[in-house]
């Protein structure tokens, strides 16, 4: 398969994948003109790229028995794409009441142009099949030159207007509070600019052929291939960003919650051996990181409460002294001391060691954080969990305890 085939078919496949996501919304938003404009634009673009690949050209020409059948088909689709892209930009920029009159004008103008292309092709003499250089090979034939100019000029005008309009709209003050739409408009303008460059090159190549100059023939076959995939990806990015961009904070929050879950998990699994009944599993929400982290914090609080009767002042003093020697910040020092207390208390609990005179009496008024700020409480537990697992100060503090009968490496129940 040639490079031209790979690039064009990849661009077409990218558009079809995007269509699959858009079709899901049709049932709920059947009467939404913006959605239909997106679907038509992406569909026409995908068909254009597919029909323009050499493999498809051979297939369609053989299937119809018409030499160069795909040439007017691609030109009609390319013109339709330019028109549909303009309509999409109009519906993005204006409310439906103002957009419809403008959209109808564009639709009528491009429909006339599309109708003229096959009519002129039908009276042209194009008996020799040309796969990649149809435009420059037949450019001197008047009827072919006419429909080529219709295609190139209408598509070029569309691309130029979209480029100018989108880049201008992206700077307008009324979009100041919609940054993702601004980014989408810029990407749409870039995609249109790539198309505009292509049509300018085609225009110059065809004009040059009229005068017997063929110095742009190679560029006329290379430039469309080079810009095909970047143009399609930019256009898809323009469509996706205004919709999914505002949801990125939710995605980042979702990812941060999973990261927090896996950070808390080693300490949580160690501590829950104190009382496995404290851990509550909710199967329906096993893929919800927000729920699972919240459950972890609740369970860690309950497990800490059980272990507080085993906290030892000597452990606190040792961990604090080692932490101060290591010049830990106040937050890290507090988390390290807390982690050392939890790990030491867990060892005592598991070994059923008797309470010594230095151990703290269980007190309902003990200093157990009761923050209503979930993020702050989570940040505190994350610092404790990291110290519990990997702090050398915690390890050194626990190493000074009397030998325990139940090592912390004992496997706990799985979650």
Task: Return all residues near 140 (Cβ < 8 A) that are at least 6 apart.
Answer: 209, 210
Instruction: Please report the pLDDT score of residue 155 as a whole number.
Output: 93
Three state DSSP letters for 210-268: HCCCCCCHHHHHHHHHHHHHHHHHHHHHHHHHHHHHHHHHHHHHHHHHHHHHHHHHHHH
248-271 and 330-351 are packed helices; what angle lies between their axes, rounded to 10 degrees? 40
pLDDT in tens, 124-166: 999 998 988 899 999 999 999 999 999 999 999 989 988 998 8
Tell me the average pLDDT across 182-194: 88
Instruction: Please report the pLDDT score of residue 247 as a whole number.
Output: 77
Tell me the average pLDDT across 398-415: 57
Enter the tokens of residue 280: 């509550």
Taking residue 6's Cβ as centre, other Cβ atoms within 10 Å add up to 14
With 90 as the cut, is the pLDDT of residue 51 above it? yes
Q: Calculate ∠ Cα 78-81-86, nearest 5°.
A: 135
Q: How confident is the model at residue 63 (pLDDT cuts 50, 70, 90)?
A: very high
Share of the chain above pLDDT 70, in %: 87
Distances (CA, A) of 307 to 272, 302, 387, 407: 11, 9, 17, 16
User: Which of 68-77, 200-209, 341-350, 378-387 comes out lowest in average pLDDT?
Assistant: 341-350
Q: Which residue has the higher pLDDT, 247 or 200?
A: 200
Instruction: Please report the pLDDT score of residue 406 as a whole number.
Output: 45
Cβ atoms of residues 406 and 351 within 8 Å: yes
Radius of gyration of the CA atoms of the chain, in A: 34
The domain 3-247 is classified under which CATH number: 1.10.10.200, 3.40.630.10, 1.20.1070.10, 2.10.69.10?
Answer: 1.20.1070.10
Instruction: Please report the pLDDT score of residue 365 as a whole number.
Output: 39
pLDDT in tens, 2-48: 788 888 888 888 888 777 776 666 667 676 787 788 888 889 989 99
- Residue position matching structure tokens 């309902």: 364
Task: Return all residues near 201 (Cβ < 8 A) that are at least 6 apart.
Answer: 216, 219, 220, 223
Instruction: Please report the pLDDT score of residue 242 as a whole number.
Output: 75
Q: Which residue has the higher pLDDT, 143 or 180?
A: 143
Give 312's strand partners.
359
For residues 55 and 52, give the distance between their C-alpha atoms in angstroms, rounded to a whole number.
Answer: 8
Q: What is the mean pLDDT of the chain?
A: 84
With 60 as the cut, is the pLDDT of residue 100 above it? yes
289-307 and 330-351 are packed helices; what angle lies between their axes, rounded to 10 degrees? 70
Instruction: Please report the pLDDT score of residue 282 as a whole number.
Output: 65
User: Which of 112-126, 241-255, 260-274, 384-398 comes out lowest in average pLDDT?
Assistant: 241-255
Q: Calculate ∠ Cα 408-326-396, nearest 5°.
A: 25
Instruction: Please report the pLDDT score of residue 370 as a whole number.
Output: 45
Q: Where are the domains of the chain?
A: 3-247, 275-399
Structure letter (DSSP) for residue 145: H
Instruction: Please report the pLDDT score of residue 369 as a whole number.
Output: 46
The closest of 222, 217, 196 to 205, measured between CA atoms, is 217
Distances (CA, A) of 126 to 137, 142, 145, 212: 10, 12, 12, 19
Query: Distance between the two ends of the chain, CA-based, in angstroms?
Result: 50
Give 232's strand partners.
none
Phi/psi-derived region of residue 212, left when phi > 0, alpha when psi is between -120 and 50, beta in every other case: left
Instruction: Please report the pLDDT score of residue 115 as a whole number.
Output: 96
């Amino acid at each position: 398969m040639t490079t031209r085939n790979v690039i064009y078919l990849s661009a077409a496949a990218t558009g079809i994948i995007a269509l699959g996501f858009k079709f899901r919304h049709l049932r709920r938003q059947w009467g939404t003109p913006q959605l239909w404009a997106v679907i038509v634009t992406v569909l026409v673009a995908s068909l254009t790229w597919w029909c323009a690949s050499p493999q498809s050209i051979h297939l369609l020409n053989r299937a119809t028995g018409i030499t160069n059948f795909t040439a007017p088909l691609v030109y009609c689709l390319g013109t339709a794409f330019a028109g549909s892209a303009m309509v999409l930009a109009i519906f993005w920029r204006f409310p439906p009441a103002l957009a419809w009159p403008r959209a109808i004008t564009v639709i009528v103008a491009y429909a006339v142009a599309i109708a003229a292309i096959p009519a002129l092709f039908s009276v042209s003499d194009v008996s020799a099949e040309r796969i990649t250089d149809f435009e420059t090979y037949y450019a001197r034939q008047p009827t072919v030159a006419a429909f080529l100019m219709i295609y190139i000029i209408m598509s070029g005008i569309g691309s130029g207007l979209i480029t100018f309009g989108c880049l201008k709209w992206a700077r307008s003050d009324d979009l100041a509070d919609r940054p993702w739409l601004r980014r989408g408009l810029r990407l749409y303008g870039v995609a249109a600019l790539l198309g505009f460059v292509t049509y300018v090159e085609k225009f110059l190549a065809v004009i040059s052929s009229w005068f017997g100059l063929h110095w742009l023939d190679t560029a006329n076959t290379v430039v469309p291939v080079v810009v095909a995939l970047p143009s399609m990806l930019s256009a898809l990015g323009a469509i996706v960003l205004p919709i999914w961009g505002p949801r990125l904070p939710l995605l980042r929050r979702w990812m941060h919650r999973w990261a927090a879950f896996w950070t808390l998990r080693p300490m949580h699994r160690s501590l829950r051996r104190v009382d496995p009944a404290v851990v509550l599993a909710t199967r329906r929400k096993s893929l919800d990181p927000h729920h699972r982290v919240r459950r972890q914090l609740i369970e860690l609080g309950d497990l800490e409460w059980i272990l507080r009767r085993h906290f030892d002042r000597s452990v606190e003093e040792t961990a604090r002294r080692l932490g101060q020697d290591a010049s830990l910040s106040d937050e890290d020092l507090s988390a390290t001391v807390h982690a050392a207390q939890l790990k030491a208390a867990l060892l005592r609990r598991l070994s059923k060691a008797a309470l010594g005179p230095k151990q703290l009496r269980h007190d309902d008024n003990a200093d157990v954080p009761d923050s209503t700020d979930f993020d702050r409480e989570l940040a505190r537990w994350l610092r404790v969990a990291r110290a519990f697992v990997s702090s050398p100060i915690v390890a050194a503090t626990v190493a000074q305890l009397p030998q325990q009968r139940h090592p912390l490496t004992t496997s706990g129940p799985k979650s």
